[in-house]
Chains A and B, each alone.
Chain A
Amino acid sequence: MKKVLHIRNFGLLLLGAIAFFQCQDGNTPITPDEGDLTDIPYNPKPYAVPKPAHFPEVPFPADNPFTVDGIALGRRLFYDPILSADSTMSCSGCHLPQGSFTDNYAVSVGIDGIAGKRSSMSLLNIAYANNGLFWDGRSKTLEEQALLPVEDPIELHTTWANVIEKLRKHPTYPEYFRKAFGIANKGEITKELAAKAIAQFERILISSGTSKFDQFINGNIDALDEEELDGKLMFFDEGAAYNLPDGQCFHCHGGITLTGNQFFNNGIDSVASLDDFRDKGLGGVTGNRFHNGKFRTPTLRNIAFSAPYMHDGRFQTLEECVAQYADNGFGVENEDIFIGQMGFPLGNGKYSGLNAYQQRALVKFLHALTDTVAINNPDFQNPFK
């Protein structure tokens, strides 16, 4: 009797297992036998993400700790056009290391040649983003975000079911998924695991801490020349004692990554009313009219590599960006108050703006944030080359 029960249970289990694997995203079910991966050893090795001493610990979610194999898998997926419909484009198509993980287009163009409405964003130090992702903050975590480009019609324009099927049938990916996540069978490859791996890779894209600015804050006061130093003093509103005006920049581009990750209208659009922004930004997500035209502050680290600038790539050069700020904005209702406070206070509540020298010094300071070591970091590059 006991034996019979046993056999029956086993049969049930087998049935269940088959049903289970049939339910996964791929089209053709992989039978447990042919998909078995348990011969491949699973020894996850934790990975301590290298970071400059003056940067905070690199945060990660409890259910997605760094492992050597997880990062290696994520790096492959990030650079592999297998994620697109026609196998022509990968994440890196719009996030290239030499562009500080942007594509250097005003607005990104997907596999079908359709242009989006927004500019690609730098992924440098993205691990520290703690207030939503995208220009409008609509995505919460890197794990959640990584699911989106694959099915976006103006990005990779395929379906996860297709991608998962390609990954399960691939000669090497099943092994990499086994090593990264300990799955027992090819059928256990899911989009969620793919997204976790990509997120692990994205989180290691940390500054090297060798820019002139980093050298300066680490005590090498000769790292910045006089103009760069003037720029730094204005950027951080520290110039009062040296007869330099406030640039107010750090209020928004603050902290070690030079973004507070907050949302602002930084005074680049002269609109008649809050309803007239071409791109509503945060307002499009929250539905609050006062949030229209507010965008998440981008990092300024390695900014020299990521032209053109702003959410729609409207400015070609850093000079244009700074010149825009120098005039104290347009006075639109929800423009941030710091936008109207560039320069010396004139006593009547108005401010002088920034003159040509002050603008030049600020641009020079932005160049002192350049970190070529990071963009050339061998661990960040395309593993297929």
Chain B
Amino acid sequence: MKNVILSAFAAAALISVSACKEPADPGVDFAINFKATYDSSQLEKNKPYNFDATQIVVQRYRLYLSDIALVKDTTVVPVTDVVYLDFTPDQAASDLSKTPRIVFSGIPAGEYDGIRIGFGVNAANNAKQPSDFPAGTPLANELDYWLGWRSYIFTVLDGRMDSDKDGDMDLPYSYHCGSDPVYRVFTFNQHIHVEEGHPELNIEFDIRKLLLNDNGTYYDILANNATSNLVTDTRVAEDISSHYDTATTIKQ
């Protein structure tokens, strides 16, 4: 009997100790505005853009991002494990691309030096498939999963090009980048201030830059007008994905 009472006492003491522990930082709401651009102007579907000796139109642009985190020195503060961005939903009455705004809650207020972004779906999630996730969540999306690679399609960028600038958009291009070797993680140095009510963060992806080589020359979209379906041939998909480093702009 005594023991029971004692242990009850101990338990109560324990509870009160843990209750006294400093409460975890509840954090604040932190909003990110995502935008797709072409040469820094908001992307428009079906609008001819000059690209090298050709013109191109963009018809679809969709993107997965994973493990977005704020960084400060050696500290990494996770913001979200995955977001799915459809800049060109097919039912939108306007051709102007969408500018999704996502609010992440519980982010510790403070000053940060940069943001880390995984372009695509990280390997752990990419080992699963849409039916493993609850309906309506980003990874339940079957549209951007391809059984052929057993992978999500990280980036979908489709459209047409006018190969000889005669006014006829004669050739298709389609970049569907997926599978683990195509996943890229980049850290962008940028002072980011997180505080309730403070200006929101803007992240922009520029399609023109996505199609430029690292040295600023034009990617040969005629010779490489599509990603390969061979799981072993990820060359074009890796080319495109690796350009996110220069194609992404962070502003606050």
- A residues apposed to B, CB below 8 Å: 54-57, 59, 128, 130-132, 137, 236-238, 240-241, 246, 250, 254-257, 260-264, 282, 286-288, 290-291, 294, 333-334, 337-338, 340-341, 345, 349-350
- Distance between B127 CB and nearest chain A CB, rounded to angstroms: 16
* Chain B residues with CB below 8 A from A333, complex form: 169
The one of B91, B95, B136, B145 that contacts A59, using a Cβ cutoff of 8 Å: B136
CB pair A282–B91 under 8 Å, yes or no, is yes
The one of B92, B95, B172 that contacts A337, using a Cβ cutoff of 8 Å: B172
CB pair B131–A349 under 8 Å, yes or no, is no
CB pair A255–B130 under 8 Å, yes or no, is yes
The one of A56, A128, A237, A282 that contacts B229, using a Cβ cutoff of 8 Å: A237
Nearest CB to that of A217 among chain B residues? B147
| CB-CB contacts below 8 Å: B111-152 with A | 130-131, 133-136, 140, 142-143, 145-148
CB pair B93–A263 under 8 Å, yes or no, is no
- Distance between A357 CB and nearest chain B CB, rounded to angstroms: 20
CA distance A234 to B45 in the complex (A): 29
CA distance A333 to B130 in the complex (A): 33
The one of A238, A286, A340, A350 that contacts B148, using a Cβ cutoff of 8 Å: A238
CA distance A293 to B210 in the complex (A): 31
The one of A130, A256, A260, A337 that contacts B131, using a Cβ cutoff of 8 Å: A256
B94 within 8 Å of A by Cβ?
yes
B46 within 8 Å of A by Cβ?
yes
CB pair A349–B163 under 8 Å, yes or no, is yes
CA distance A382 to B156 in the complex (A): 44
CA distance A55 to B135 in the complex (A): 11
* Chain B residues with CB below 8 A from A254, complex form: 142-143, 145
The one of B90, B135, B158, B228 that contacts A240, using a Cβ cutoff of 8 Å: B228
**30 residue pairs A–B, Cβ–Cβ below 8 Å:** A56-B130, A56-B131, A56-B133, A132-B91, A236-B148, A240-B228, A240-B229, A240-B230, A241-B230, A254-B142, A254-B143, A254-B145, A255-B142, A256-B130, A260-B143, A261-B143, A262-B143, A263-B90, A282-B91, A286-B92, A290-B45, A333-B169, A337-B59, A337-B159, A337-B174, A340-B172, A341-B172, A345-B226, A349-B171, A349-B225
Given contacts A237-B229, A238-B229, whether A286 and B91 have CB atoms under 8 Å apart is: yes
CB pair B145–A255 under 8 Å, yes or no, is yes
- Distance between B222 CB and nearest chain A CB, rounded to angstroms: 7
* Chain B residues with CB below 8 A from A246, complex form: 229
**A contact patch SS:** loop
* Chain A residues with CB below 8 A from B228, complex form: 240
Size of chain B's interface in residues, with CB distance under 8 A? 38
* Chain A residues with CB below 8 A from B173, complex form: 337
- B residues apposed to A, CB below 8 Å: 45-46, 59, 90-95, 130-131, 133-136, 140, 142-143, 145-148, 158-160, 163, 169-174, 222, 225-226, 228-230
- Distance between A12 CB and nearest chain B CB, rounded to angstroms: 45
CA distance A264 to B143 in the complex (A): 14
Nearest CB to that of A339 among chain B residues? B172
Given contacts A56-B131, A260-B143, whether A286 and B59 have CB atoms under 8 Å apart is: no
CA distance A285 to B241 in the complex (A): 36
- Distance between A249 CB and nearest chain B CB, rounded to angstroms: 12
* Chain B residues with CB below 8 A from A137, complex form: 91
Nearest CB to that of B131 among chain A residues? A56
CB pair B158–A337 under 8 Å, yes or no, is yes
CB pair A57–B134 under 8 Å, yes or no, is yes
CB pair B170–A349 under 8 Å, yes or no, is yes
* Chain B residues with CB below 8 A from A250, complex form: 146-147
* Chain B residues with CB below 8 A from A261, complex form: 143
CA distance A59 to B134 in the complex (A): 9
- Distance between A134 CB and nearest chain B CB, rounded to angstroms: 12
- Distance between B37 CB and nearest chain A CB, rounded to angstroms: 20
* Chain A residues with CB below 8 A from B226, complex form: 341, 345
Q: Which interface residue of A54, A55, A341 has the most chain B CB atoms within 10 A?
A: A341
* Chain A residues with CB below 8 A from B135, complex form: 56-57, 59, 128, 130
The one of B46, B130, B136, B148 that contacts A290, using a Cβ cutoff of 8 Å: B46
CA distance A70 to B131 in the complex (A): 26
CA distance A57 to B131 in the complex (A): 8
Q: Which interface residue of A246, A263, A288 has the most chain B CB atoms within 10 A?
A: A288
CA distance A100 to B111 in the complex (A): 59
Given contacts A236-B147, A337-B174, whether A256 and B142 have CB atoms under 8 Å apart is: yes
Known A240-B229, A241-B230; 10 more pairs at CB < 8 Å: A54-B131, A57-B134, A131-B90, A255-B130, A263-B91, A286-B91, A290-B45, A291-B91, A334-B46, A337-B158
